[in-house]
Amino acid sequence: MSPAGQGQERERNLNRLLTFVDAVVAIAITLLVLTLVELTGEVGSGTSVSDLLRENQPALWGFFLSFAVIARLWFLQHRSLRNVIVGNRPLDFWLVAWTLTIVFLPFPTALVARAPNQPTTKILYIGTIAVSTLTLAFVDRLIARHQVVLDGAEPVAVAAPLVNVALLLIALVITLAVPATSYLPLLLLFFDDPILRVLHRVRRTHAAGEVGEPPGTRP
């Protein structure tokens, strides 16, 4: 096969893998709602819809929370790969590893509905999200080192998933130390953009200082 033919084949392989990844995410989100669908069997046996909703608030909360989490992780993955044209085996490996975390997430989500305050539940749930985000950091690192073929645009900064991992670990520590906070510490994830902007300004200031430094002034 000619080099051009090999390039087209690798491009097709990446497209197939991304299609597979999107399908896995769709299935994982579908699995989240199946638990809620099963609850509808309780209606009609002395339980009203209002009672069902009131008695199963943790399950509803877990569904909406995990839907938002999976959607956020998918957008992070999409942002990481939007400029990639041709991948390679390491990239394939980390993407498949990322899908594993997505497939596993409905399990701790079900635990959030049944035993939300147990420390093990919180560790499994937030820990799975942290591992998923950390996996995307490895994807970004591969892309940043230009070990894949890009469309000419600048790759996504590796700092983005690492900041999210740090925020997730802080959220986990808070929710374990102060159980009354439940899963509200996950709202810390909304601070990732301001933190990234600050880090970006610090890097630009530091880079500008190095460029403007007179020669021979550094030891």
Question: Is there a domain that residue 215 lies in?
Answer: no
- With respect to residue 56, please indicate whether it lies within any of the assigned structural domains: yes
With tokens 């940043």, the residue in question is 144
Nearest to 121 by CA among 56, 64, 78, 175: 175
Q: DSSP label at 56?
A: T
DSSP code string of 11-24 = HHHHHHHHHHHHHH
Q: Tokens at residue 14, please?
A: 């990446």
Query: Which range marks the domain in which residue 47 is found?
Result: 3-210
Q: CA triplet 62, 81, 15: central angle to 5 degrees?
A: 100
Assigned domain for 148 exists: yes
pLDDT given at position 121: 95
In a domain, 219, yes or no: no
The answer to whether position 216 is within a domain reads no
Rounded average pLDDT per 10-residue block, the chain, 219 residues: 55 87 92 82 77 82 88 88 84 93 92 89 95 92 76 68 92 95 90 87 77 51
Quick check: is 106 in a domain? yes
DSSP collapsed to 3 states, 157-175: CCHHHHHHHHHHHHHHHHH
Residue at 33 is within a domain: yes
- Of 120, 23, 35, 136, nearest in space to 76 by CA: 136
Which pLDDT score is estimated for 156?
63
Q: Tell me the longest C-alpha to C-alpha distance in the chain.
A: 84
> Could you give the number of structural domains in the chain?
1
Contacts with 199 (C-beta within 8 Å, 6 or more apart), sequence order: 159, 163
Tokens 């953009």 found at: 193
Identify the pLDDT of residue 105: 92
Token pair in block for residue 18: 């991304």
Contact 161, 137 (CB under 8 A): yes
pTM: 0.80
At residue 166, the pLDDT reads: 93
- With helix as H, strand as E and coil as C, how does 62-109 read? HHHHHHHHHHHHHHHHHHHHCCEEECCHHHHHHHHHHHHHHHHCHHHH
